[in-house]
Amino acid sequence: MSDVKPFLVTKDLSIGYKTKRTERIISKHLNLTLLPGQLVCLLGSNGSGKSTLMRTIAGLQPALEGTVYIGQQLLSGLKSAQLAQTLSLVLTERIEAGNLTALEVITLGRTPYTGWLGALSEIDHKKIEEAILLANVENLVNRKIHQLSDGERQKVMLARALAQDTELILLDEPTAHLDLPNRVEMMRLLHNLARQTGKAILLSTHELDLALQAADILWLMQQNGKLVAGVPEDLVLNGAFEAAFEKNGFFFDKSSGTFNIYQDVCTHSISIAGDPVLAFWTRRALQREGFGLTDDMNATFKVRCDRDAAGTTWQMEWQQKNAKYFTIAELVAAIKLAAK
């Protein structure tokens, strides 16, 4: 057994909403652990309870039952100043930062140590500088926060959390509003940060692909209210990942690690061999057309794709016939014709 001390532990935690008359349990019996240096992605379909769990862990809403330990201490016993030195929370909503510059917002991350408008010590300055470098926002520090793009502001808010220098960082949908390159960059940044700094990072996201690649551990909120935790690849192979997002009209393709919106509608089967990149994109085009793909040697159409200095070719065999094509468009057109 490892003797690494977790930064976060939940014991038999129930999360949800309570009024005088009603209680709505979103998830219960949550026994979760977050270790130093771990990047954990919290995934689940809309309304499954991700924000509720994040808010409960951050102490923004009470647990219905059970306990949350931050470090070795009970969350409910921590004073807000102590909590702010242990846990930082980055939300997606636009913050009201008036006319502040990015540097001033990042500096606010030191408030738990300096007090409101307190003088900055040498350590504070050092932590702010480190945070700016880690979050890669050197070029933004003198800009007004309200003049930044969503992606730029999101990185500044991460820098503020880093300046707060807590063991635990919680981020609610940090990639919302970002374009694809910035989503990839943010995930890579968070992945590297966990590794470099030993902080534990928990983020909720709808970026299934990126989470599968970047997370050390996934927390999957299932449709039945249960939460399954594990290494991404294990959750894919044991079907838990697929089950969390089960819906009619698409399925998770374990062989490519992507959700597939197409369903086989054609009875003919096709096998594809050869160059793996060409095979991948050929498969995509054929699935869109509704063809079933197989590894079976007895497939109706056998395609072999190759790439060399002369270019790309698709060789197809069917019913003792043989033909060669030079684009996917030509291949698909030929198969559609032959399959009629």
Ligand X SMILES: Nc1ncnc2c1ncn2[C@@H]1O[C@H](COP(=O)(O)OP(=O)(O)OP(=O)(O)O)[C@@H](O)[C@H]1O
- Residue identified by tokens 């960059």 is 185
| Beta carbon nearer to ligand X, 113 or 219 | 219
**What DSSP state is assigned to residue 75?**
G
Q: What is the DSSP letter of 323?
A: E
Of 44-52, 64-72, 151-159, 306-314, which segment contacts ligand X by CB under 6 A? 44-52
Instruction: Specify the amino acid at residue 261.
Output: I
Q: Which helix (H) or strand (E) holds 152?
A: helix 150-163
Least distance between ligand X and beta carbon 49 (Å): 4
> Judged by CB under 6 A, does residue 175 bind ligand X?
no
- Select the span of 47-55, 143-151, 182-190, 267-275 touching ligand X (CB under 6 A): 47-55
**Residue among 238, 256, 262, 236 nearest 43 (CA):** 236
44 binds ligand X (CB under 6 A): yes
CB of 172 to ligand X, least distance (A): 8
**Nearer to ligand X among residue 52 and residue 154 (C-beta):** 52
Q: At what angle do helices 180-197 and 150-163 cross, to 10 degrees?
A: 10
- Pick 53 or 212: Cβ nearer ligand X: 53
Of the pair 48, 107, the CB lying nearest ligand X is at 48
Q: Give Cα 227 distance to the centre of its chain.
A: 16
Binding mask 1-20 for ligand X (x = CB under 6 A): ----------------x---
Q: Of 39-47, 94-102, 195-203, 275-283, which part binds ligand X (CB under 6 A)?
A: 39-47
Q: Please tell me the distance from the alpha carbon of residue 108 to that of residue 115, in angstroms, as a whole number.
A: 10
CB of 241 to ligand X, least distance (A): 16
Strand 301-308 and strand 292-293: pairing? unpaired
Query: Is 50 one of the binding residues for ligand X (CB under 6 A)?
Result: yes
For residues 33 and 7, give the distance between their C-alpha atoms in angstroms, rounded to a whole number. Answer: 8
Nearer to ligand X, 8 or 54 (CB): 54
51 contributes a contact to ligand X by CB under 6 A:
yes
> Would you say 107 or 204 has its CB closer to ligand X?
204
Choose which of 52, 107, 164, 287 interacts with ligand X (CB under 6 A). 52
Contacts 24+ apart (CB under 8 A), 207-211: 207/175, 207/183, 208/43, 208/245, 208/259, 209/257, 209/258, 210/175, 210/183, 210/184, 211/41, 211/43, 211/187
Nearer to ligand X, 32 or 105 (CB): 32
Q: Terminus-to-terminus CA distance in the chain, angstroms?
A: 61
Total residues at interface with ligand X (CB under 6 A): 11
CB of 52 to ligand X, least distance (A): 3
> What does the binding site for ligand X look like in residue numbers (CB under 6 A)?
17, 24, 26, 44, 46-52
